[in-house]
Amino acid sequence: MEKPSLPKGTRDFGPQVMARRNHIVDAIRAVFQKYGFQPLETPAMETLATLTGKYGDEGDQLLFRILNSGDFLKNVDLHNVTDARTLAPYISEKGLRYDLTVPFARYVVMNRHDITLPFKRYQVQPVWRADRPQKGRYREFYQCDADVVGTDSLICEAEIILMIKEVMTRLNVADYSIKINHREILNGIAHAIGASGKETELFVAIDKLDKIGEAGVRQELENKGFSTEQCLSLFTILKTPGTNQSKLGSLHTLFKPSQPGQKGVADLQQVFELLTRYRQDDAHVEFDLALARGLSYYTGCIFEVKINGVAIGSVSGGGRYDNLTQAFGSKEKLSGVGISFGIDRLYDALDELNLFPKSARAVATVLVCHVDETSLRYGLGVLSQLRSVNIASEIFPETAKLKKQLDFANNKKIPYALVIGPDEIKSGILALKNLESGQQENLPLDAIIKKLIP
Amino acid sequence: MEKPSLPKGTRDFGPQVMARRNHIVDAIRAVFQKYGFQPLETPAMETLATLTGKYGDEGDQLLFRILNSGDFLKNVDLHNVTDARTLAPYISEKGLRYDLTVPFARYVVMNRHDITLPFKRYQVQPVWRADRPQKGRYREFYQCDADVVGTDSLICEAEIILMIKEVMTRLNVADYSIKINHREILNGIAHAIGASGKETELFVAIDKLDKIGEAGVRQELENKGFSTEQCLSLFTILKTPGTNQSKLGSLHTLFKPSQPGQKGVADLQQVFELLTRYRQDDAHVEFDLALARGLSYYTGCIFEVKINGVAIGSVSGGGRYDNLTQAFGSKEKLSGVGISFGIDRLYDALDELNLFPKSARAVATVLVCHVDETSLRYGLGVLSQLRSVNIASEIFPETAKLKKQLDFANNKKIPYALVIGPDEIKSGILALKNLESGQQENLPLDAIIKKLIP
């Protein structure tokens, strides 16, 4: 028999990894809930009618399609089949979720009459993409999204910043930047350098600044027909010096009144002003004129979060969009703003910075050990008492050499062993071994419970 | 544009349902962890080599298969394709997870050298089956499993009973039965009525007792060639009266020494004895000689949990099996025992019995309301103070009529509204409305915080 294997690009998450992933997801979920976001889950499968045409041609190629069940060739005339592309629609009508935004939009359209606006939902589920797997890129990965739809209020943008800060605090990350920009400011820059109508090429190039540097971006723009003067003006603007406030001041002056860009400046000024109403300053928040977020569908504020000191791209990103449900033919225009955290990248960053707390482990606190059948049975009563006060605990379920039991505890990284033998049963004084420090204390069970109670 | 829809047999879980599902899953997860079980997650997709041949022919038919990505007909000569069955292996090599046991076995085989035995894992993930959808049967549903592998100790069986009891207590279910039986006892019964060699037919029939009644089972057995006398003896045994202990006593007498059945009686006796060591009695535990658990692969103790007073089948089931990893050609024999909770059935039962607590809702505790732009901004500072002590709270993000804001809170079932206007700002005394009772209190923010702090 062949050795079993995993489909490429997929992973098992064993106990230690799960405990750490839960540490991250629990922190994010707690913050979302604290800010009034409500949970939603959608099915892993969606109809291909829901999925296709939403992610561009490349996205359509990367959808995992599910073969129709039963006799999927029943209505297919094989003589007319020339290639996979013509056959596919006949044999597959469902695909796997590709992101969390399209299912959310589908949910809103289908449940519009039961939803109270503004609607704040969060969603933590895996998505699947038939991408070529490589380091840090998987075919199955979790997304962790929160969105508000049905309001234009910039309070939502301010709260996204507050939520990011609180997630970082809960994850013990001290050195990070929340980059913020505005699509209208990018439009204003395009206008200011005389490149209106060529925004797409401009933003795609700017978006690569981190990867290919100034010279690379210049090269790409010149290849696309931008003049040397335009590039020069562009980088002069992108390098506007100063604080968030002074940069906004400079742009306010640069962008002519009632021309593209002013709305973006006004929005960001209001977001910064709102933060002060929450009694918060703009620590960690960095107005970054070169933040473009690729070709995404954002129309207002855009965000990206970087953890400093690690070689990992952004761990979170989002922004405001004009019309969530447009793609489903909804006539009502639902504007919204959202943020998405990348669990895998956060994991790698916390791991690299050694920021996982000791408590992020999924093991019992105590292993009850024993030296014979009698102490094993006595141990069951001890276990009951430990568990009655919610101390996670287990017993080695067979009589075995004490060394084997302690090895078991050490391998699982259980922090304490409680050893029971005839003397302990007689005296009622049990031996509590701290397996990390090696120290042993001899205490009655009451005192042990007091020590370990969560 | 066509209205969007869900694939049949799948569901969205909106905020209220999610809160209740989380109430159930959190309770089960907390109990599993308290008993030393560790979390595992496996990918939604498995190779078809892993999945096929594990669930019988019917199971193979019900697997969802994933179409290979890219040009899936590249290596297919369409002239040789006669039907779906011959084509399928060429165009699909992955399928969706069908249960949690096979992926667990695959994980154990692949990670055998990193696993410390006995290994206790729990897993809460969706599975997919291409079954015909009907009331209460879905194509995507969650399973919630805990298994111990690598030990024969009956302490595991006793702890499964304790875990079930604790889950029921946490879910506020008072009236339920944990039915327990043993495969060897069923074998003993077959032997005692002279039906050795026909165990399969016998157990399949007994398993239907709940559905088709005694007459139906008799009929089925007679159709399968069992004699009237055999049926008579069978039901005399199945109806053995008395307590768990006295039933075991009767069977001990009935089964001849060192014949089939005695091992089952001894195992159950030990499980009941172990419960007393945990200082627990056998309340809720019912030795049910007619419990058979169909054609499953169990070899030792078997369990099933029924909530009384609701028209819902078992909400949980499990048992001991001989060899988890056999199907993957592993030479090491890993015996284990597991329990699985059905979230959908538990949900329906709790719903029918009205047992969901008020706290099982996923909304903020307070909505901050305001009467003008100034009080809206003042409210942001109030929000910050509420959130600084982890009171889940939100603000209506636009200036709007107070009625609209209170309607919003009522629709979302937010329990409190905190209303701010010019008078409140001047006096520092805010109006806290309990939206369930309609009562209003006027209090300084400190007192409100003290009242709402979680």
What pLDDT shows up at residue B330? 85
Q: What is the ipTM of this complex?
A: 0.94
State the pLDDT confidence band at A58, using cuts at 50, 70 and 90. confident
Do B52 and B89 contact (CB within 8 A), yes or no? Answer: no
Backbone angles phi, psi at B328, to 5 degrees: -100, 15
What pLDDT shows up at residue B1? 60
State the pLDDT confidence band at B219, using cuts at 50, 70 and 90. very high
* Substitution target from A32, A86, A120, A155 for chain B, most B beta carbons within 10 A: A155
What pLDDT shows up at residue A343? 96
Element (DSSP H or E) covering residue B47: strand B45-47
Per-residue pLDDT averaged across A399-425, rounded? 96
Q: In this predicted model, what pLDDT tens digit does every residue of A247-306 receive, in sequence order?
A: 999 999 999 888 889 999 999 999 999 999 999 989 999 999 999 987 668 999 999 999
CB neighbours of residue A300 within 10 Å: 21
Do B141 and B64 contact (CB within 8 A), yes or no? Answer: no
Query: What is the dotted CATH code of the domain comprising A366-452?
Result: 3.40.50.800
CB proximity list for A89: less than 8 A, separation 6 or greater: A48
**pLDDT surpasses 90 at B85:** no
B394 with A280: Cβ contact below 8 A: no
Average pLDDT value for chain B: 94
Q: In this predicted model, what pLDDT tens digit does every residue of A203-233 receive, in sequence order?
A: 999 989 988 999 999 999 999 999 999 999 9
| In A298-420, alpha helices (H) | 343-352, 373-388, 402-412
Residue of A nearest to B106 (CA): A4
What pLDDT shows up at residue A70? 84
What pLDDT shows up at residue B138? 94
Which of these ranges, A241-245, B78-82, B410-414, has the smallest mean pLDDT? B78-82
CB proximity list for A2: less than 8 A, separation 6 or greater: B49
SS3 content of chain A, % helix, strand, coil (to 5): 45, 20, 35
CA distance B387 to B389: 5
pTM recorded for the entire structure:
0.94
Q: In this predicted model, what pLDDT tens digit does every residue of A61-117 receive, in sequence order?
A: 999 999 998 888 888 887 778 788 888 888 999 999 999 999 999 999 999 999 999
Q: Which of A158, A390, A411 sits opposite B116 (nearest CB)?
A: A411
Strands B416-420 and B429-434, sheet pairing? antiparallel
Q: Which of B43, B381, B383 sits opposite A6 (nearest CB)?
A: B43
Q: Where are the domains of chain A?
A: 15-47+103-352, 366-452
Q: Which of A43, A128, A153 sits opposite B11 (nearest CB)?
A: A43
A43 with B277: Cβ contact below 8 A: no
Which of these ranges, A332-336, B83-87, B104-108, B177-181, has the smallest mean pLDDT? B83-87
Query: What is the dotted CATH code of the domain comprising A15-47+103-352?
Result: 3.30.930.10
Q: In this predicted model, what pLDDT tens digit does every residue of B359-386 receive, in sequence order?
A: 888 899 999 999 999 999 999 999 999 9
Do B96 and B44 contact (CB within 8 A), yes or no? Answer: yes
Q: In this predicted model, what pLDDT tens digit does every residue of A307-343 receive, in sequence order?
A: 999 988 899 999 999 888 888 988 889 999 999 999 9
CA-closest candidate to residue B267, choices B177, B205, B166, B187: B187
State the pLDDT confidence band at B295, using cuts at 50, 70 and 90. low
Q: In this predicted model, what pLDDT tens digit does every residue of B122-163 receive, in sequence order?
A: 999 999 999 998 888 899 999 999 999 999 999 999 999 999
B121 with A329: Cβ contact below 8 A: no
Assigned token pair, B158 = 């006793």
What secondary structure does DSSP assign to B109-124, as a single string? Answer: HHTGGGPPSSEEEEEE
| Dihedral sign (CA B241, B245, B250, B256) | positive
A84 with B72: Cβ contact below 8 A: yes
Ranges of beta strands (E only) in A112-187 are 119-128, 140-149, 176-182
